[in-house]
């Protein structure tokens, strides 16, 4: 009598369940009230008088809209991603349904004022009169990205026309705060160009960003 032989192949599945508490709209409202209750946006966001505030800045170039060699002016569309820490804007996510970040309007908190030098007409800070959305993380890190159309001077060299190569600098500064208290730092060594749209008349060859101690203020310069 023959017996059929059977071979069994066993698979073992280990199922792991992860349980987490999802935040709800009530948690977001509660968190917003907690952060802004008693918050004064006119107060410089440092814990102690001897502290300094680092602004990490990333320059994003979207387009070169106009370049006038005769007048020596360039117009670009760009934005500055600015990151810093505000000690008054931190919280424990476990107290708010696990929510570890919050989006709010920029007019609700302190934001830095950066000015582009050599602009025609009235000098305004980048993004002035416009409300942007800021992203706040639970450790107090704030990400703010003002931008727009920027018009500044650009010294030109037409000695090799029509094969000239021009270098333009965008100089951003802060006013009224000592350079050892408010420090500008370039987040990367080149501009962000992932969304850059080519100009039909000019080719973007290279970009470089750096922070420079100018004595009375710190300067962030973007080179083309």
Instruction: Provide the pLDDT for residue 21.
Output: 59
The answer to whether the CB of 55 falls within 8 A of the CB of 184 is yes
Lookup: tokens for 177: 């705060």
How many whole angstroms separate alpha carbon 169 and alpha carbon 157?
A: 14
CA–CA gap between residue 61 and residue 71 (Å, rounded): 22
Largest CA distance in the chain: 105
Residues 135 and 106 sit within 8 Å (Cβ to Cβ): no
Q: What is the pLDDT of residue 178?
A: 81
Assessment of whether the complete model's pTM goes beyond 0.85: no
108 backbone dihedrals φ, ψ, rounded to 5°:
-90, -15
Three-class DSSP labels, the chain: CCCCCCCCCCCCCCCCCCCCCCCCHHHHHHHHHHHHCCCCCCCCCCCCCCCCEEEEEEEEEEEEEEEECCCCEEEEEEEEEEEEEEEEEECCHHHHCCCCEEEEEHHHCCCCCCEECCCCCCCCECCCCCCCEEEEECEEEEEECCEEEEEEECCCCCCCCCCCCCCCEEEEECCCCCCCCEEEEECCCCCECCCCECCCCCCCCCCEEEEEECCCCEEEEEEC
Q: Which pLDDT belongs to residue 144?
A: 97
CA distances from 70 to 15, 74, 153, 166 (A): 70, 11, 11, 13
pLDDT mean values, one per 10 residues, the chain (224 residues) = 44 48 87 97 92 94 91 94 97 96 97 92 87 97 96 79 76 85 87 93 88 48 42
């Amino acid at each position: 009598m023959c017996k059929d032989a059977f071979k069994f192949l066993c698979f073992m599945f280990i199922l792991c369940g992860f349980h987490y508490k999802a935040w709800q709209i009530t948690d977001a409202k509660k968190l917003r009230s907690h952060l802004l209750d008693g918050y004064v946006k006119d107060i410089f966001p440092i814990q102690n008088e001897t502290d300094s505030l680092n602004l990490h800045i990333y320059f994003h170039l979207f387009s070169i809209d106009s370049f006038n060699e005769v007048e020596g002016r360039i117009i670009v569309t760009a934005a500055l991603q600015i990151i810093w820490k505000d000690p008054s804007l931190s919280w424990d996510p476990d107290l708010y349904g696990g929510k570890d970040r919050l989006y709010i309007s920029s007019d609700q908190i302190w934001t830095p004022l950066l000015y582009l030098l050599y602009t025609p007409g009235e000098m305004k800070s980048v993004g002035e009169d416009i409300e942007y959305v800021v992203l706040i993380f639970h450790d107090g890190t704030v990400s703010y990205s003002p931008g727009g159309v920027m018009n500044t001077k650009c010294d030109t060299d037409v000695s090799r026309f029509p094969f000239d190569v021009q270098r333009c600098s965008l100089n951003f500064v802060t006013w009224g705060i000592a350079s050892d208290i408010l420090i500008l730092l370039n987040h990367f060594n080149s501009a962000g160009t992932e969304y850059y749209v080519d100009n039909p008349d000019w080719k973007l060859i290279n970009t470089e960003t750096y922070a420079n101690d100018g004595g009375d203020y710190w300067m962030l310069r973007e080179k083309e």
